[in-house]
Structure 1
Amino acid sequence: MKLVVVSAGLSSPSSTRLLADRLTAATLAHLDAEPQVIEVRELATEIAQHLVTGFPPARLAAALDTVAAADGLIAVTPVFAASYSGLFKSFFDLIDKDALTGTPVLLGATGGTARHSLVTEHAMRPLFTHLRAPVVPTAVYAASQDWGEQGLARRITRAGTELARSMRPATPHTAPHTAPHTAPHTIPDTDTDTDTDTAAAIAPRSPTGAITSADPAHGLRTVPFEQRLAALRAE
Protein backbone atom coordinates (compact mmCIF):
# COMPACT_ATOMS: atom_id res chain seq x y z
CA MET A 1 0.00 0.00 0.00
CA LYS A 2 1.17 3.52 -0.78
CA LEU A 3 0.58 6.39 1.63
CA VAL A 4 1.43 9.74 0.02
CA VAL A 5 1.97 12.83 2.17
CA VAL A 6 1.75 16.30 0.62
CA SER A 7 3.22 19.04 2.80
CA ALA A 8 2.95 22.64 1.61
CA GLY A 9 5.05 24.31 4.30
CA LEU A 10 7.28 27.13 3.05
CA SER A 11 10.14 26.88 5.53
CA SER A 12 12.48 24.15 6.68
CA PRO A 13 11.82 22.97 9.26
CA SER A 14 8.15 23.94 9.42
CA SER A 15 5.20 23.25 11.69
CA THR A 16 3.32 22.07 8.59
CA ARG A 17 5.87 19.31 7.96
CA LEU A 18 5.88 18.47 11.67
CA LEU A 19 2.10 17.98 11.62
CA ALA A 20 2.37 15.94 8.41
CA ASP A 21 4.96 13.66 10.04
CA ARG A 22 2.84 13.13 13.16
CA LEU A 23 -0.24 12.33 11.08
CA THR A 24 1.83 9.87 9.07
CA ALA A 25 3.09 8.14 12.22
CA ALA A 26 -0.46 7.90 13.62
CA THR A 27 -1.65 6.27 10.39
CA LEU A 28 1.24 3.82 10.14
CA ALA A 29 0.60 2.72 13.73
CA HIS A 30 -2.50 0.93 12.39
CA LEU A 31 -1.48 0.13 8.83
CA ASP A 32 1.39 -1.50 6.97
CA ALA A 33 2.06 0.98 4.17
CA GLU A 34 4.93 2.61 2.32
CA PRO A 35 4.97 6.38 3.00
CA GLN A 36 6.21 8.89 0.46
CA VAL A 37 6.45 12.62 1.24
CA ILE A 38 6.13 15.39 -1.34
CA GLU A 39 7.43 18.79 -0.25
CA VAL A 40 5.51 21.19 -2.47
CA ARG A 41 7.92 24.10 -1.84
CA GLU A 42 10.63 22.11 -3.62
CA LEU A 43 8.42 22.04 -6.72
CA ALA A 44 7.40 25.70 -6.70
CA THR A 45 9.33 26.62 -9.86
CA GLU A 46 8.09 23.57 -11.78
CA ILE A 47 4.49 24.30 -10.70
CA ALA A 48 4.75 27.85 -12.07
CA GLN A 49 6.26 26.57 -15.34
CA HIS A 50 3.45 24.05 -15.75
CA LEU A 51 0.78 26.67 -15.10
CA VAL A 52 2.30 28.93 -17.78
CA THR A 53 3.32 26.38 -20.43
CA GLY A 54 0.88 23.54 -19.81
CA PHE A 55 3.72 21.00 -19.74
CA PRO A 56 5.00 19.60 -16.43
CA PRO A 57 8.77 19.25 -15.92
CA ALA A 58 9.90 15.69 -15.18
CA ARG A 59 10.17 16.10 -11.41
CA LEU A 60 6.68 17.59 -11.13
CA ALA A 61 5.22 14.97 -13.45
CA ALA A 62 6.67 12.26 -11.19
CA ALA A 63 5.10 13.90 -8.11
CA LEU A 64 1.71 14.13 -9.80
CA ASP A 65 1.92 10.46 -10.80
CA THR A 66 2.81 9.54 -7.23
CA VAL A 67 -0.29 11.28 -5.90
CA ALA A 68 -2.47 9.63 -8.56
CA ALA A 69 -1.17 6.17 -7.57
CA ALA A 70 -1.73 6.67 -3.83
CA ASP A 71 -3.91 4.31 -1.79
CA GLY A 72 -4.29 7.06 0.81
CA LEU A 73 -3.33 10.72 1.02
CA ILE A 74 -2.37 13.12 3.81
CA ALA A 75 -2.60 16.77 2.72
CA VAL A 76 -1.31 19.52 5.02
CA THR A 77 -1.10 23.25 4.35
CA PRO A 78 -0.26 26.41 6.27
CA VAL A 79 -3.04 28.98 6.50
CA PHE A 80 -2.76 32.17 4.48
CA ALA A 81 -5.53 34.81 4.38
CA ALA A 82 -7.93 32.42 6.17
CA SER A 83 -7.50 29.66 3.55
CA TYR A 84 -5.00 27.16 2.17
CA SER A 85 -1.81 28.54 0.68
CA GLY A 86 -1.61 29.48 -2.98
CA LEU A 87 1.20 26.96 -3.49
CA PHE A 88 -0.95 24.17 -2.03
CA LYS A 89 -3.88 25.09 -4.30
CA SER A 90 -1.65 25.43 -7.37
CA PHE A 91 -0.28 21.91 -6.85
CA PHE A 92 -3.71 20.32 -6.58
CA ASP A 93 -4.96 22.40 -9.54
CA LEU A 94 -2.55 20.32 -11.63
CA ILE A 95 -3.93 16.96 -10.43
CA ASP A 96 -6.07 15.24 -13.06
CA LYS A 97 -9.74 15.61 -12.14
CA ASP A 98 -10.19 11.82 -11.89
CA ALA A 99 -6.87 10.94 -10.26
CA LEU A 100 -8.11 11.02 -6.66
CA THR A 101 -11.54 9.49 -7.19
CA GLY A 102 -12.12 7.10 -4.29
CA THR A 103 -8.76 7.82 -2.61
CA PRO A 104 -9.22 8.47 1.14
CA VAL A 105 -7.72 11.76 2.32
CA LEU A 106 -6.74 13.09 5.74
CA LEU A 107 -6.67 16.90 6.00
CA GLY A 108 -4.34 18.96 8.16
CA ALA A 109 -3.56 22.65 8.51
CA THR A 110 -1.36 24.87 10.67
CA GLY A 111 -1.72 28.49 11.68
CA GLY A 112 -0.70 31.06 14.24
CA THR A 113 -4.12 31.36 15.86
CA ALA A 114 -7.07 29.14 16.65
CA ARG A 115 -9.39 31.59 14.84
CA HIS A 116 -8.60 29.79 11.56
CA SER A 117 -9.42 26.30 12.83
CA LEU A 118 -12.34 25.90 10.42
CA VAL A 119 -10.13 26.25 7.35
CA THR A 120 -10.15 22.48 6.98
CA GLU A 121 -13.94 22.53 6.69
CA HIS A 122 -14.76 25.64 4.64
CA ALA A 123 -11.79 25.52 2.27
CA MET A 124 -9.99 22.15 2.18
CA ARG A 125 -12.87 19.69 2.44
CA PRO A 126 -14.81 21.24 -0.50
CA LEU A 127 -11.64 21.11 -2.63
CA PHE A 128 -11.24 17.35 -2.18
CA THR A 129 -14.96 16.74 -2.47
CA HIS A 130 -14.70 18.39 -5.89
CA LEU A 131 -11.93 15.90 -6.72
CA ARG A 132 -14.29 13.07 -5.59
CA ALA A 133 -11.89 11.98 -2.85
CA PRO A 134 -13.55 10.75 0.36
CA VAL A 135 -12.25 12.78 3.31
CA VAL A 136 -12.00 11.11 6.72
CA PRO A 137 -14.26 12.69 9.37
CA THR A 138 -11.51 14.09 11.60
CA ALA A 139 -9.41 16.93 10.18
CA VAL A 140 -6.56 18.30 12.28
CA TYR A 141 -5.79 21.99 12.71
CA ALA A 142 -2.79 22.94 14.83
CA ALA A 143 -2.39 26.50 16.08
CA SER A 144 0.85 27.66 17.64
CA GLN A 145 -0.46 27.15 21.17
CA ASP A 146 -1.68 23.61 20.43
CA TRP A 147 1.73 21.97 20.23
CA GLY A 148 2.38 19.84 23.28
CA GLU A 149 -1.31 19.76 24.24
CA GLN A 150 -3.10 16.45 24.77
CA GLY A 151 -6.05 17.63 22.71
CA LEU A 152 -3.91 17.87 19.57
CA ALA A 153 -2.36 14.47 20.22
CA ARG A 154 -5.81 12.87 20.57
CA ARG A 155 -7.05 14.45 17.32
CA ILE A 156 -3.94 13.25 15.49
CA THR A 157 -4.40 9.70 16.79
CA ARG A 158 -8.09 9.64 15.89
CA ALA A 159 -7.50 11.03 12.40
CA GLY A 160 -4.66 8.57 11.69
CA THR A 161 -6.83 5.67 12.82
CA GLU A 162 -9.66 6.79 10.53
CA LEU A 163 -7.36 7.02 7.51
CA ALA A 164 -5.81 3.61 8.22
CA ARG A 165 -9.28 2.09 8.48
CA SER A 166 -10.31 3.71 5.19
CA MET A 167 -7.24 2.37 3.40
CA ARG A 168 -7.61 -1.24 4.51
CA PRO A 169 -9.10 -3.61 1.92
CA ALA A 170 -12.72 -4.41 2.64
CA THR A 171 -13.24 -7.77 4.34
CA PRO A 172 -15.35 -10.09 2.16
CA HIS A 173 -18.82 -10.34 3.53
CA THR A 174 -19.72 -13.76 4.85
CA ALA A 175 -23.39 -14.60 4.87
CA PRO A 176 -24.63 -15.73 8.28
CA HIS A 177 -25.24 -19.45 8.70
CA THR A 178 -28.85 -20.38 8.14
CA ALA A 179 -30.57 -23.68 8.66
CA PRO A 180 -31.48 -25.56 5.46
CA HIS A 181 -34.90 -24.70 4.16
CA THR A 182 -37.58 -27.17 5.15
CA ALA A 183 -41.21 -27.26 4.28
CA PRO A 184 -43.46 -25.91 7.02
CA HIS A 185 -44.58 -28.58 9.45
CA THR A 186 -48.19 -29.61 8.89
CA ILE A 187 -50.15 -31.31 11.63
CA PRO A 188 -52.01 -34.26 10.09
CA ASP A 189 -55.75 -34.42 10.46
CA THR A 190 -56.31 -37.50 12.63
CA ASP A 191 -59.90 -36.74 13.60
CA THR A 192 -61.75 -39.44 11.63
CA ASP A 193 -64.81 -39.35 13.84
CA THR A 194 -66.30 -36.32 12.11
CA ASP A 195 -69.52 -34.91 13.44
CA THR A 196 -71.36 -34.56 10.14
CA ASP A 197 -74.40 -32.96 11.74
CA THR A 198 -72.30 -30.14 13.23
CA ALA A 199 -70.41 -29.76 9.98
CA ALA A 200 -73.63 -29.50 8.05
CA ALA A 201 -75.04 -26.92 10.45
CA ILE A 202 -72.11 -24.53 9.97
CA ALA A 203 -71.33 -25.26 6.31
CA PRO A 204 -72.28 -22.66 3.69
CA ARG A 205 -75.17 -23.35 1.37
CA SER A 206 -74.66 -23.68 -2.37
CA PRO A 207 -76.77 -21.69 -4.84
CA THR A 208 -78.99 -24.78 -5.30
CA GLY A 209 -79.77 -24.96 -1.61
CA ALA A 210 -77.48 -27.91 -0.92
CA ILE A 211 -75.30 -28.10 2.17
CA THR A 212 -71.63 -29.03 1.97
CA SER A 213 -70.57 -31.37 4.75
CA ALA A 214 -67.50 -33.37 5.67
CA ASP A 215 -67.07 -36.91 4.51
CA PRO A 216 -64.35 -38.91 6.28
CA ALA A 217 -63.67 -41.07 3.26
CA HIS A 218 -63.76 -38.56 0.43
CA GLY A 219 -63.24 -35.19 2.02
CA LEU A 220 -66.35 -33.12 1.21
CA ARG A 221 -69.72 -34.16 -0.16
CA THR A 222 -72.86 -32.25 -1.08
CA VAL A 223 -76.16 -33.19 0.62
CA PRO A 224 -79.36 -32.02 -1.16
CA PHE A 225 -81.45 -29.75 1.02
CA GLU A 226 -84.57 -31.90 0.73
CA GLN A 227 -82.64 -34.99 1.85
CA ARG A 228 -81.24 -33.18 4.87
CA LEU A 229 -84.70 -31.76 5.77
CA ALA A 230 -86.24 -35.23 5.61
CA ALA A 231 -83.52 -36.58 7.92
CA LEU A 232 -84.21 -33.83 10.45
CA ARG A 233 -87.97 -34.55 10.41
CA ALA A 234 -87.32 -38.25 10.93
CA GLU A 235 -85.39 -37.39 14.07
Structure 2
Amino acid sequence: MKLVVVSAGLSVPSSTRLLADRLAAAAAAQSPADVQVIELRDLAVEIAHTFTTGFPGRSLSAAFETVAGADGLIVVTPVFSASYSGLFKSFFDALSVTEEGALAGKPVLIAATGGTARHSLVLDHALRPLFSHLGAVVVPTGVYAASEDWGAEGLDGRIERAAGELAALTAGPATARPRPRRDSLEEVTPFEERLAALRPTG
Protein backbone atom coordinates (compact mmCIF):
# COMPACT_ATOMS: atom_id res chain seq x y z
CA MET A 1 0.00 0.00 0.00
CA LYS A 2 1.25 3.47 -0.88
CA LEU A 3 0.14 5.83 1.88
CA VAL A 4 0.62 9.57 1.47
CA VAL A 5 0.41 12.00 4.38
CA VAL A 6 -0.34 15.69 3.75
CA SER A 7 0.55 17.88 6.73
CA ALA A 8 -0.27 21.58 6.83
CA GLY A 9 1.56 22.33 10.06
CA LEU A 10 3.56 25.56 10.04
CA SER A 11 5.81 25.35 13.08
CA VAL A 12 8.78 23.08 13.82
CA PRO A 13 8.07 20.92 15.74
CA SER A 14 4.39 20.82 14.84
CA SER A 15 1.50 19.14 16.65
CA THR A 16 -0.11 18.75 13.23
CA ARG A 17 2.88 16.74 11.97
CA LEU A 18 2.94 14.77 15.22
CA LEU A 19 -0.68 13.73 14.76
CA ALA A 20 0.01 12.92 11.10
CA ASP A 21 2.94 10.68 12.05
CA ARG A 22 0.91 8.84 14.70
CA LEU A 23 -1.92 8.22 12.25
CA ALA A 24 0.48 6.97 9.58
CA ALA A 25 2.23 4.65 12.03
CA ALA A 26 -1.10 3.22 13.19
CA ALA A 27 -2.27 2.65 9.60
CA ALA A 28 1.03 1.04 8.58
CA ALA A 29 0.86 -1.25 11.62
CA GLN A 30 -2.49 -2.59 10.43
CA SER A 31 -1.57 -2.87 6.75
CA PRO A 32 2.06 -2.72 5.54
CA ALA A 33 2.59 0.57 3.75
CA ASP A 34 5.15 2.71 2.00
CA VAL A 35 4.58 6.07 3.74
CA GLN A 36 5.45 9.39 2.10
CA VAL A 37 4.94 12.75 3.83
CA ILE A 38 4.22 16.04 2.09
CA GLU A 39 4.90 19.13 4.21
CA LEU A 40 2.85 21.96 2.76
CA ARG A 41 4.92 24.69 4.41
CA ASP A 42 7.79 23.70 2.11
CA LEU A 43 5.52 24.23 -0.91
CA ALA A 44 3.84 27.48 0.14
CA VAL A 45 5.61 29.69 -2.42
CA GLU A 46 4.97 27.30 -5.31
CA ILE A 47 1.31 26.95 -4.28
CA ALA A 48 0.91 30.74 -4.41
CA HIS A 49 2.66 30.97 -7.78
CA THR A 50 0.34 28.32 -9.19
CA PHE A 51 -2.62 30.65 -8.79
CA THR A 52 -0.85 33.51 -10.55
CA THR A 53 0.86 31.58 -13.35
CA GLY A 54 -1.54 28.67 -13.80
CA PHE A 55 1.32 26.14 -13.63
CA PRO A 56 2.74 24.28 -10.63
CA GLY A 57 6.48 24.34 -9.98
CA ARG A 58 8.65 21.25 -10.03
CA SER A 59 8.29 20.36 -6.34
CA LEU A 60 4.56 21.00 -6.33
CA SER A 61 4.07 18.93 -9.49
CA ALA A 62 5.91 16.06 -7.80
CA ALA A 63 3.65 16.41 -4.75
CA PHE A 64 0.55 16.32 -6.96
CA GLU A 65 1.79 13.17 -8.68
CA THR A 66 2.50 11.58 -5.32
CA VAL A 67 -1.02 12.32 -4.09
CA ALA A 68 -2.61 11.13 -7.34
CA GLY A 69 -0.69 7.85 -7.15
CA ALA A 70 -1.50 7.09 -3.53
CA ASP A 71 -3.64 4.16 -2.44
CA GLY A 72 -4.78 6.18 0.57
CA LEU A 73 -4.32 9.63 2.07
CA ILE A 74 -4.01 11.03 5.57
CA VAL A 75 -4.63 14.78 5.60
CA VAL A 76 -4.03 16.91 8.68
CA THR A 77 -4.53 20.64 9.12
CA PRO A 78 -4.29 23.08 12.01
CA VAL A 79 -7.51 24.95 12.71
CA PHE A 80 -7.67 28.65 11.80
CA SER A 81 -10.86 30.66 12.31
CA ALA A 82 -12.82 27.45 12.98
CA SER A 83 -11.83 25.91 9.62
CA TYR A 84 -8.91 24.38 7.74
CA SER A 85 -5.90 26.58 7.06
CA GLY A 86 -5.63 28.63 3.89
CA LEU A 87 -2.46 26.77 2.90
CA PHE A 88 -4.24 23.43 3.23
CA LYS A 89 -7.22 24.56 1.13
CA SER A 90 -4.99 26.19 -1.48
CA PHE A 91 -3.03 22.97 -2.00
CA PHE A 92 -6.15 20.95 -2.71
CA ASP A 93 -7.66 23.73 -4.83
CA ALA A 94 -4.53 23.74 -6.99
CA LEU A 95 -4.50 19.94 -7.10
CA SER A 96 -8.11 19.78 -8.29
CA VAL A 97 -7.32 22.17 -11.16
CA THR A 98 -4.01 20.62 -12.18
CA GLU A 99 -4.89 16.95 -11.60
CA GLU A 100 -8.64 16.84 -12.13
CA GLY A 101 -10.17 13.74 -10.55
CA ALA A 102 -6.99 12.96 -8.60
CA LEU A 103 -8.97 12.16 -5.44
CA ALA A 104 -11.94 10.40 -7.08
CA GLY A 105 -12.60 7.16 -5.21
CA LYS A 106 -9.48 7.57 -3.07
CA PRO A 107 -9.73 6.68 0.66
CA VAL A 108 -8.93 9.70 2.83
CA LEU A 109 -8.52 9.95 6.60
CA ILE A 110 -9.20 13.51 7.80
CA ALA A 111 -7.63 14.99 10.92
CA ALA A 112 -7.04 18.36 12.55
CA THR A 113 -5.32 19.96 15.51
CA GLY A 114 -6.36 22.98 17.55
CA GLY A 115 -5.99 24.73 20.85
CA THR A 116 -9.46 23.86 22.14
CA ALA A 117 -11.92 21.01 21.82
CA ARG A 118 -14.59 23.53 20.75
CA HIS A 119 -13.21 23.40 17.21
CA SER A 120 -13.59 19.62 16.80
CA LEU A 121 -16.62 20.16 14.54
CA VAL A 122 -14.21 21.34 11.86
CA LEU A 123 -13.95 17.71 10.80
CA ASP A 124 -17.60 17.42 9.79
CA HIS A 125 -18.34 21.05 8.93
CA ALA A 126 -15.28 21.76 6.76
CA LEU A 127 -12.99 18.82 6.01
CA ARG A 128 -15.55 16.12 5.27
CA PRO A 129 -17.57 18.28 2.82
CA LEU A 130 -14.36 19.39 1.05
CA PHE A 131 -13.13 15.88 0.35
CA SER A 132 -16.58 14.56 -0.47
CA HIS A 133 -16.83 17.33 -3.06
CA LEU A 134 -13.50 16.22 -4.52
CA GLY A 135 -14.87 12.69 -4.89
CA ALA A 136 -12.80 11.05 -2.16
CA VAL A 137 -14.05 8.27 0.10
CA VAL A 138 -13.71 9.77 3.58
CA VAL A 139 -13.32 7.27 6.41
CA PRO A 140 -16.10 7.43 9.04
CA THR A 141 -13.83 8.36 11.93
CA GLY A 142 -12.06 11.71 11.80
CA VAL A 143 -9.43 12.57 14.41
CA TYR A 144 -9.24 15.91 16.17
CA ALA A 145 -6.54 16.63 18.75
CA ALA A 146 -6.87 19.64 21.04
CA SER A 147 -4.04 20.74 23.30
CA GLU A 148 -5.49 18.81 26.23
CA ASP A 149 -5.79 15.58 24.22
CA TRP A 150 -2.06 14.92 24.07
CA GLY A 151 -1.30 12.30 26.68
CA ALA A 152 -4.96 11.96 27.68
CA GLU A 153 -7.17 8.92 27.29
CA GLY A 154 -9.22 8.72 24.13
CA LEU A 155 -6.86 10.03 21.45
CA ASP A 156 -5.06 6.72 20.98
CA GLY A 157 -8.38 4.93 20.54
CA ARG A 158 -9.57 7.38 17.89
CA ILE A 159 -6.26 7.10 16.05
CA GLU A 160 -6.43 3.30 16.01
CA ARG A 161 -10.07 3.23 14.91
CA ALA A 162 -9.53 5.74 12.07
CA ALA A 163 -6.35 3.99 10.95
CA GLY A 164 -8.16 0.66 10.87
CA GLU A 165 -10.92 2.12 8.73
CA LEU A 166 -8.38 3.57 6.29
CA ALA A 167 -6.49 0.28 6.10
CA ALA A 168 -9.74 -1.59 5.38
CA LEU A 169 -10.66 0.80 2.58
CA THR A 170 -7.24 0.70 0.93
CA ALA A 171 -7.33 -3.10 1.01
CA GLY A 172 -10.74 -3.16 -0.73
CA PRO A 173 -11.49 -3.42 -4.44
CA ALA A 174 -12.15 0.32 -4.77
CA THR A 175 -8.43 1.05 -4.90
CA ALA A 176 -8.02 -1.22 -7.91
CA ARG A 177 -10.30 0.94 -10.04
CA PRO A 178 -8.51 3.32 -12.41
CA ARG A 179 -8.84 7.02 -11.73
CA PRO A 180 -11.68 8.35 -13.88
CA ARG A 181 -10.80 10.64 -16.75
CA ARG A 182 -12.70 13.84 -17.35
CA ASP A 183 -14.12 12.54 -20.63
CA SER A 184 -15.26 9.24 -19.09
CA LEU A 185 -17.32 10.52 -16.17
CA GLU A 186 -20.91 9.34 -16.15
CA GLU A 187 -23.45 11.78 -17.48
CA VAL A 188 -25.39 13.39 -14.64
CA THR A 189 -29.16 12.97 -14.90
CA PRO A 190 -30.96 16.25 -14.13
CA PHE A 191 -32.89 16.22 -10.87
CA GLU A 192 -36.16 17.02 -12.66
CA GLU A 193 -35.85 13.90 -14.83
CA ARG A 194 -35.12 11.70 -11.84
CA LEU A 195 -38.09 13.13 -9.99
CA ALA A 196 -40.39 12.60 -12.99
CA ALA A 197 -39.34 8.96 -13.18
CA LEU A 198 -40.56 8.41 -9.64
CA ARG A 199 -44.04 9.82 -10.24
CA PRO A 200 -46.84 7.31 -10.88
CA THR A 201 -47.94 7.17 -14.52
CA GLY A 202 -51.41 5.67 -14.05
* TM-score after normalising by structure 2: 0.83
The residue that corresponds to 2:49 in the other structure is 49
Deviations along 1:2-50, one digit per CA (max 9) or x if unpaired, are 1000000001110000000000011011111100000000000010111
Is residue 2:79 matched to residue 1:79? yes
| Residues in 2 aligned to 1:23 and 1:159: alpha-carbon distance in whole angstroms | 8
Shift, 1:149, TM fit? 1.2
Query: 4+ residue stretches of structure 1 with deviation over 6 A?
Result: none
* Alignment coverage as a number of residue pairs: 171
Is residue 2:115 matched to residue 1:119? no
Q: Is 1:6–1:76's contact at 8 Å kept on the other side of the alignment? A: yes
Shift, 1:143, TM fit? 0.2
Aligned AA (1:168): A
The residue that corresponds to 2:34 in the other structure is 34
The residue that corresponds to 1:107 in the other structure is 110
The residue that corresponds to 1:61 in the other structure is 61
Higher relative contact order (CA 8 A, sep 6+): 2
The residue that corresponds to 1:130 in the other structure is 133
| Residues in 2 aligned to 1:62 and 1:119: alpha-carbon distance in whole angstroms | 29
Aligned AA (1:129): S
Counterpart of 1:149 in 2: which secondary structure? Answer: coil
Percent of aligned pairs with the same amino acid: 68
Shift, 1:169, TM fit? 3.7
| Residues in 2 aligned to 1:169 and 1:33: alpha-carbon distance in whole angstroms | 15
| Residues in 2 aligned to 1:78 and 1:105: alpha-carbon distance in whole angstroms | 17
Structure with more helix by fraction: 2
Q: Is 1:77–1:84's contact at 8 Å kept on the other side of the alignment? A: yes
Q: Is 1:97–1:131's contact at 8 Å kept on the other side of the alignment? A: no
Unaligned runs of 5+ in 1: 171-235
Deviations along 1:38-86, one digit per CA (max 9) or x if unpaired, are 0000000010111111011101100011001110000000000000000
Is residue 2:144 matched to residue 1:146? no
Counterpart of 2:136 in 1: which secondary structure? Answer: coil
Aligned AA (1:4): V
Is residue 2:14 matched to residue 1:14? yes
| Residues in 2 aligned to 1:77 and 1:102: alpha-carbon distance in whole angstroms | 21
Deviations along 1:146-181, one digit per CA (max 9) or x if unpaired, are 0011201100010001000110044xxxxxxxxxxx
Aligned AA (2:61): A
| Residues in 2 aligned to 1:65 and 1:116: alpha-carbon distance in whole angstroms | 32
Aligned AA (1:131): L
